[in-house]
Structure 1
């Protein structure tokens, strides 16, 4: 029987075996989960820091970022289709690079994601204060954390259902913004002449800070795309992993690229770039408020606040899902206490969710109450973890390409093969090299390297002797004498 492909969650299904996750996500939900992570608050409030660095040429930075993400996503999708398992790219790194890589990737990803969600929870609390300025910050943080934890605790189906609709609101807002922006730029309104492309060249021209600024801006731009990896994480709970991952990765890459490049392009076209450079992070300074006001949408500031609130909750929801699944995988492979690997009767890793949520609340409180030194260190770990995880994904693919049979690589072929993966590695290293001129990246390099060395030390002294080595076997070519299986 063919499963319908809509937003309605599937009925709860028992795990296929003890300790196994439930496969109940549809491929549309899988796509929206990825968008839910990657379309965060940064886009809606404007990427002022990147614009201030590169000026109108920030469009080129976002275009380069979209291409790099497309390479990583394609490589990751190819391996995930062959291995739709718990722990996804962490487990794949275990298989192809060694147990040490699986340990480091999963702990780095969990730690970095937990910090990132803490930031989203703080952002959501701040947006709620737009309407209730007297509400205690700690109470709002607890309320947002409880909301996303509750959605994830019920079942993976309820999570997929919620994320589908939350992400749909964000996508709709971006589409409306792009349509309204194109109207203002090229057509105009009865009482507002078309802006045209004049704002792209004054104030120093299209490249006011030189060509190197396009590279420097990547230190901000690349992290706007973080979260697309969640598509592969959900493969272990997707009804048809091969179809879901193949469709989701293709749709995700072009949608993210189109949304970010067009939206940022319209921002620097509609408004002089120096007016939005830096920005104060408030809703009133958002380019969305400017555009919605221009086209006559009432209460533009409140509408935009609602959108960024949904964006923050959606990102926190999707990333909590991702963090909990990685912690569950760590517990299953004895890289973390075994208790976090236990599942509820609905197939939900409840303890992994609760532990991840506790870490999120701690990070959120550190950020909200300006414990700057500690929180800045945590952010450095998050930044470093993203880059190292991407590098290890690409490195895993190079081994996968040699070790896996051709049949396992046909579902989602990677154009250019190993050359494309090497180009991706060069791109990630180019982003990391901005540490030479960007202080935040320099701190991330030092703190993140120290954290990674600590993880390797823990692995060598405590974990490698007890860690399960039962990563999934490498895929093999089918035996022509073997009878075909009915799925």
Structure 2
């Protein structure tokens, strides 16, 4: 049964009520806060183990996909700057079912990614307190971030701005310090670009290993799309969104590519452990007193920052579902500070799952949480490309004027992005590490479809 799509004004009106207090700088930092986190500081260790030095190509492919996604989102958000995330765009331009699925998939992905961040936090704290239980740190830090998200969005934006600023400064220092040591290291120190080929070559795991690492690279870049979620709370949406998209992506590509290139030159890829960050391993190898502890503190802040951003995104997505009638109405209520408190509490499910897994599977909790969370995130990116295709076709048919920002090479680049995302989703079915991605994701999607057609299709 075909259902008529709601007008976009209708969708944004029903989701109104959030406060517009986020500046362009804060929106940029929110995107960086989500994307520069565990994916870079801990997940990169898994990517390096899959691909070896060719992980640089893996992250370059991931950056291309992220660039195409950002361009697609920027164009759609410029056309509709007043509010509404990519879930609202999918509902309007594709089908109400598409908006329903995207919102729930993205909410579930963020809820589970929160679990990966908080699991990583427990690992980072064990650097200083090796015998401490992980659940203790998970519970304590989670309580602090839930309180921060319960306050006004202005408070959240300020906290995230400073969290992300610490990360950005630390990465810049790491790049400068690593570059200096790489250039000035004496011959007696085993440091140099020869590490790229001296341990099994540049492709020690072959092309398949390099391609598999793209999945982890995407996990690292995830949350760049969060700017579109925050658009409804931006002070000057159109200017803030386009500027934040460009600066966030540029910084991400520079930070990821340069830092990984330095890590691989300073430490052989075979030593990039998964039990702690390869950045900590690198600083230990440089033998700088106290440096490993400092970098561990920075990546702890990075994980807290990413978790803070993802909790924000999950809360706003559930708020949109409730206001659209696709979740209990109480989840769409705001507290006195203008924050959707009930949606926030529900979005803490990932924290509870992470706490349980850290007790049952302390050594495998992070990888398991990452594999399960990947489906919702990858499905969301795929649907953003699909939505952009329908969006542009709709504007072209209506003969609307060219926007101030427009995606290049339509429809080929849009289809390329969608094709790459679909190929990567299929890839997870042939890997032991990501076997749970489709195994949990597809049944989840089927259940959502059944639920929609039984309850909401009318």
Where does residue 73 of structure 2 map in the other structure?
76
Where does residue 223 of structure 1 map in the other structure?
219
Where does residue 426 of structure 1 map in the other structure?
419
User: Aligned in 2, Cα 1:18/1:305: closer, same or farther, shift over 3 Å?
Assistant: closer
Which of 142, 146, 167 is the aligned partner of 2:143?
Answer: 146
**Contact 1:68/1:427 (8 A) holds in 2:** yes
**Contact 2:333/2:340 (8 A) holds in 1:** yes
Residues 212-233 of structure 1, C-alpha deviations (whole Å, 9 max, x = no match): 3321221222111111111111
**Contact 1:366/1:375 (8 A) holds in 2:** no
- SS for the counterpart of 1:182 is helix
Q: Measure, in 2, the Cα distance between the counterparts of 1:76 and 1:44.
A: 26
Q: Give the superposed CA RMSD.
A: 2.5
Q: Measure, in 2, the Cα distance between the counterparts of 1:169 and 1:42.
A: 17
User: Aligned in 2, Cα 1:380/1:273: closer, same or farther, shift over 3 Å?
Assistant: closer
User: Aligned in 2, Cα 1:273/1:217: closer, same or farther, shift over 3 Å?
Assistant: same
Where does residue 275 of structure 1 map in the other structure?
271
Poorly superposed stretches of 4+, deviation over 6 Å: 191-194, 372-378
**Contact 2:42/2:274 (8 A) holds in 1:** no
Where does residue 376 of structure 2 map in the other structure?
385
Provide TM-score, normalisation by structure 1: 0.85
Q: Which runs of 5+ in 2 are unaligned?
A: 1-12
- SS for the counterpart of 2:455 is helix
Q: Measure, in 2, the Cα distance between the counterparts of 1:388 and 1:27.
A: 27
**Contact 1:341/1:349 (8 A) holds in 2:** yes
- 1:53 paired to 2:43: no
User: Aligned in 2, Cα 1:288/1:203: closer, same or farther, shift over 3 Å?
Assistant: same
Q: Measure, in 2, the Cα distance between the counterparts of 1:65 and 1:114.
A: 22
Residues 282-339 of structure 1, C-alpha deviations (whole Å, 9 max, x = no match): 25xx33453476373x312221221121011101100000000000000000000000
Where does residue 184 of structure 2 map in the other structure?
187
Residues 338-382 of structure 1, C-alpha deviations (whole Å, 9 max, x = no match): 00101123321111112212x133222222112689998865542
User: Aligned in 2, Cα 1:130/1:217: closer, same or farther, shift over 3 Å?
Assistant: closer
C-alpha displacement at 1:176, in angstroms?
A: 1.1
Question: Which structure shows the higher helix fraction?
Answer: 2
Which of 109, 114, 128 is the aligned partner of 2:111?
Answer: 114
Q: Measure, in 1, the Cα distance between the counterparts of 2:15 and 2:405.
A: 31
Q: Measure, in 2, the Cα distance between the counterparts of 1:229 and 1:250.
A: 12
Which of 241, 247, 256 is the aligned partner of 1:245?
Answer: 241
Where does residue 456 of structure 1 map in the other structure?
449
**Contact 1:46/1:287 (8 A) holds in 2:** no
Residues 442-463 of structure 1, C-alpha deviations (whole Å, 9 max, x = no match): 4312321111010000000012
User: Aligned in 2, Cα 1:263/1:379: closer, same or farther, shift over 3 Å?
Assistant: closer
Q: Which runs of 5+ in 1 are unaligned?
A: 1-15, 466-487
Q: Measure, in 2, the Cα distance between the counterparts of 1:17 and 1:340.
A: 13
Which of 294, 298, 316 is the aligned partner of 2:286?
Answer: 294
User: Aligned in 2, Cα 1:346/1:449: closer, same or farther, shift over 3 Å?
Assistant: same
Provide TM-score, normalisation by structure 2: 0.90
Q: Measure, in 2, the Cα distance between the counterparts of 1:376 and 1:31.
A: 28
Q: Measure, in 2, the Cα distance between the counterparts of 1:443 and 1:368.
A: 18
Tell me how many residue pairs correspond in the alignment: 443
C-alpha displacement at 1:70, in angstroms?
A: 0.6
